[in-house]
Amino acid sequence: MYSNDVELKNVQKVVLEISKYFVEFCNEHGLVCYFCGGGCIGSIRHQGFIPWDDDLDFFMPRQDYEKLKILWEKYANKDRYPLLFATLEYNDHNSFMTIRDIETTFVKTYQEDLDIPHGIPIDIFPLDGAPESGYKRKIQKIWALIYALFCSQVVPEKHGGLLATGSRVLLNIFSSKKARYKIWRFAEKQMSKYPFGSTQYVTELCVGPKYMGNIYELADFKSAIFVPFEDTEMPIPVGYDRYLKQVFGEYMELPPKEDQQPHHEAVVLDTKTSYKKRHNKNEEK
């Protein structure tokens, strides 16, 4: 996707600036956040970005995740860094929140047809409490799947089979914007009815089927610790080692050379020009 290393480094630089602003905002307002996935691995293995990685993702306990929506609207620099999440009127094919740098352009393949602020993003995922019972966990995951389908409104084609076929049928049956909104809002309430901290387990539900329903120890996410990351310090879960081993195995070992590639596909990428300016120029031609 990237024509050279300089282009990748420029994207990483923008992503880091958004992350710094976000983490500082959370610190100022008493909100807990921490790296997940590649950002967490990078902070421990490389003290910065995984060299070929082009994004940073964060976890937040559900309570703080919901508070963020309100506080960001009141106090953040929304003109530069809008916080985007699904509503009745807004849909970007995601089931989680993103913060974008409006002064850049990053049009993802699955969002190419959408009229949204196509800036370089960071992704933010809520952590919910997980019930003790295996049966209740299965019910929670079913609600999460329903939430993901009607919130993102995208058929999970990659997973094929019954999941894709069933999803297509459901979206055809419930085709109106209002019906879909009511369904995913109800499903969201059902899947998040175990507050973070109410049991000894937590789970991630606003992600794809690969990670959805993963069960983690609450103790590992009780707080954040700050560690060196590039030219600053960034938060990671206090129990990062157990979390990373559970999800990624021996995370300190480099993956095979063929897997050392960025995993986000962009139709249009420009770290210097806002999507709005590019869009307006194209319309004038």
d(CA 74, CA 121): 20
Q: Domain boundaries in the chain?
A: 5-284
Reported as type and span, the H/E element at residue 153 is none
Please tell me the pTM assigned to this model.
0.93
Question: What does the pLDDT look like over 94-111, one tens digit per residue?
Answer: 999 999 999 999 999 899
What is the predicted pLDDT for the residue at 284? 52
Question: What does the pLDDT look like over 11-40, one tens digit per residue?
Answer: 999 999 999 999 999 999 999 999 999 999
| Chain mean pLDDT for the chain | 93
End-to-end CA distance of the chain: 26
Question: What does the pLDDT look like over 193-246, one tens digit per residue?
Answer: 999 999 999 999 999 888 999 999 999 999 999 999 999 999 999 999 999 999
Q: Outline where 174-227 has alpha helix (H).
A: 177-191
Q: What confidence category does residue 49 fall into, taking pLDDT thresholds of 50, 70 and 90? A: very high
What is the predicted pLDDT for the residue at 172? 83
Tell me whether residue 56 is exposed, middle or buried, using C-beta atoms within 10 angstroms of its C-beta: 0 to 12, 13 to 18, 19 or more.
buried
Residue among 78, 114, 107 at smallest CA distance from 93? 114
